[in-house]
């Protein structure tokens, strides 16, 4: 009624305000981790500091790279949602599949807990709590494994089951290969260095070498000369190789054999590099290193050729950025020649760093290897756009052809009408 007192309604904060508030908290948390970590490192003696940082880097850098890959995959899904590419049909996903927002939520949690665990490790070790420090990476790995394998209906059970089932199909290609199978296997080839570091980290945890200097012995079971390192590096390529063989068995297409040959060229790069620790230095310099360089060049150029000729369709390189609604990204990226040249040039350059990433004898330059592995993930990130769009165009072209073949032609309709009697 007019003149009556109306209770004040407390308004909810806007989504933009909440986003800014979360961003500020995230920034403050990051600054706190950096400050505590830096102070902890400065407390150590200079002669042990580099060795200790190398060990810390080994435990946590693969998880940082996994988080980066999840962030980039969320960006891929966001772009697909804005464009005409129906990635749900391409990957044959259920209606309960994760959206780009849910993917980013997973990446956010991983980005939070990994630096927190690393900061706790640095702080505890620098203050003399060695046993508690050693438990930090072990606890983190155990929690992540439990979350991934948990059979309970939480943490996106259906999506985790889809991911684990696809991984099983990659390792055991006993059935017809689908697009999600070889797509995820291709991404795993870009993460071979991540898998290698995960294996070395788990090896040291199992053998109780965390927060000790026993792991620094090169000839130990978890040392830099371990035969497990090249075996883990080559595993994603072998899985993809056997997928191609299985595809050839099902389709009899010779292109499958050529694709299998591409993945097989990574094998000599990996094992020739590992031979450095098992042959005399003169033999490595005079014989094995030239072979390693030649095999690296072959692998890089063959992979680049396959990206351009087979995985992508050069006539549609920029249509992925034609969004349904007007956007700044559309005006910046759609139909621009510089996007075309950037994709070709960056893909060639980053393919040529393939040899460095796959070479075990260069892994002591851990910061450089980390940077190159991150760049390889960025290359795979832009590869995803054009590979998925190419597959979607093939699916729509096939559907249009089937629909046109099912429709009767004009001559058939005329003959059918003339056969009727009035």
Instruction: Confirm if 240 and 263 have CB atoms less than 8 A apart.
Output: yes
Nearest CA among 274, 304, 305, 277 for reference residue 292: 274
Separation CA 137–CA 214 (nearest Å): 17
Task: Check if the beta carbon of residue 395 is closer than 8 Å to that of residue 401.
Answer: no
Greatest alpha-carbon span in the chain: 105
Question: Are the C-beta atoms of residues 114 and 419 closer than 8 Å to each other?
Answer: no
Structure tokens at 343: 């994709």
At CA 77, angle to CA 73 and CA 82, rounded to 5? 150
> Using the 8-state DSSP alphabet, how is residue 218 labeled?
T
Q: Which two tokens stand for residue 355?
A: 């040899």
Q: Which residues, including other chains, have CB under 8 Å from residue 133's CB and lie 6 or more apart?
A: 120, 121, 122, 124, 125, 211
Domains of the chain, residue spans = 27-395
Q: Residue 274 and residue 7: Cα distance in Å, rounded?
A: 75
pLDDT tens per residue across all 422 residues of the chain: 444 444 544 556 777 778 788 889 888 998 999 899 888 888 887 777 777 788 888 899 999 999 999 999 999 998 888 887 888 888 888 877 888 999 999 999 999 999 999 999 999 988 888 889 889 999 999 999 999 999 988 889 889 999 999 999 999 988 889 999 999 999 999 999 899 989 989 988 888 888 776 555 555 677 777 888 889 999 999 999 999 999 999 988 898 999 999 999 999 988 888 887 788 888 888 888 889 889 988 988 899 888 888 777 665 555 666 666 666 666 666 666 677 788 888 888 888 876 666 665 556 677 888 888 899 999 999 889 888 888 888 888 877 776 666 655 554 554 454 444 43
Q: What integer pLDDT is reported at residue 65 of this predicted model?
A: 94
Got the DSSP string for 18-56?
A: HHHHHHHHHHHHHHHHHHHHHHHHHTS-HHHHHHHHHHH
């Amino acid at each position: 009624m007019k003149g009556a007192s109306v209770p004040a309604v407390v308004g909810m904060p806007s989504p933009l305000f909440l986003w800014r508030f979360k961003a500020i908290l995230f920034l403050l948390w990051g600054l706190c981790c950096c400050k505590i970590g830096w102070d902890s490192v400065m407390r150590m003696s200079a002669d042990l500091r580099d060795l200790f940082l190398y060990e810390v880097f080994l435990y946590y850098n693969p998880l940082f790279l996994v988080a980066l890959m999840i962030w980039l995959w969320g960006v891929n899904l966001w772009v697909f949602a804005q464009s005409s590419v129906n990635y749900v049909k391409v990957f044959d996903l259920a209606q309960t599949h994760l959206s780009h927002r849910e993917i980013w939520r997973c990446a956010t949690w991983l980005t939070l807990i990994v630096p927190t665990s690393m900061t706790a490790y640095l702080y505890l070790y620098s203050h003399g709590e060695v046993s508690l420090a050693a438990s930090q990476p072990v606890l983190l790995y155990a929690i992540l494994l439990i979350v991934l394998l948990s059979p309970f209906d939480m943490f996106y059970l259906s999506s985790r089951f889809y991911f684990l089932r696809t991984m099983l199909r990659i390792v055991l290609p006993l059935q017809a290969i689908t697009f999600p199978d070889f797509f995820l296997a291709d991404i795993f080839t870009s993460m071979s260095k991540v898998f290698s570091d995960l294996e070395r980290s788990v090896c040291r945890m199992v053998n109780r070498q965390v927060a000790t200097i026993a792991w620094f012995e090169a000839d130990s079971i978890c040392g830099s000369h371990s035969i497990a390192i090249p075996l883990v590096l080559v595993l994603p390529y072998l899985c993809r190789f056997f997928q191609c063989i299985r595809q050839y068995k099902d389709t009899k297409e010779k292109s499958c054999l050529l694709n299998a040959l591409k993945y097989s060229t990574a094998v000599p790069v990996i094992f020739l590099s590992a031979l450095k620790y098992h042959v005399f230095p003169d033999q490595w310099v005079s014989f094995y290193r030239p072979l390693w360089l030649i095999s690296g060049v072959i692998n890089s150029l063959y992979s680049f050729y396959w990206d351009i000729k087979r995985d992508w369709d050069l006539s549609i390189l920029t249509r992925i950025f034609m969004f349904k609604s007007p956007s700044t990204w559309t005006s910046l990226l759609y139909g621009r020649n510089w996007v075309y040249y950037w994709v070709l040039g960056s893909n060639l350059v980053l393919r040529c760093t393939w040899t460095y990433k796959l070479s075990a004898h260069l892994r002591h330059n851990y910061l450089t290897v980390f940077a190159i592995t991150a760049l390889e993930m960025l290359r795979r990130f832009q590869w995803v756009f054009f590979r998925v769009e190419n597959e979607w165009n093939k699916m729509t072209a096939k559907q249009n052809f089937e629909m046109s073949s099912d429709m009767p032609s004009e001559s058939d309709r005329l003959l059918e009408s003339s056969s009727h009697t009035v």
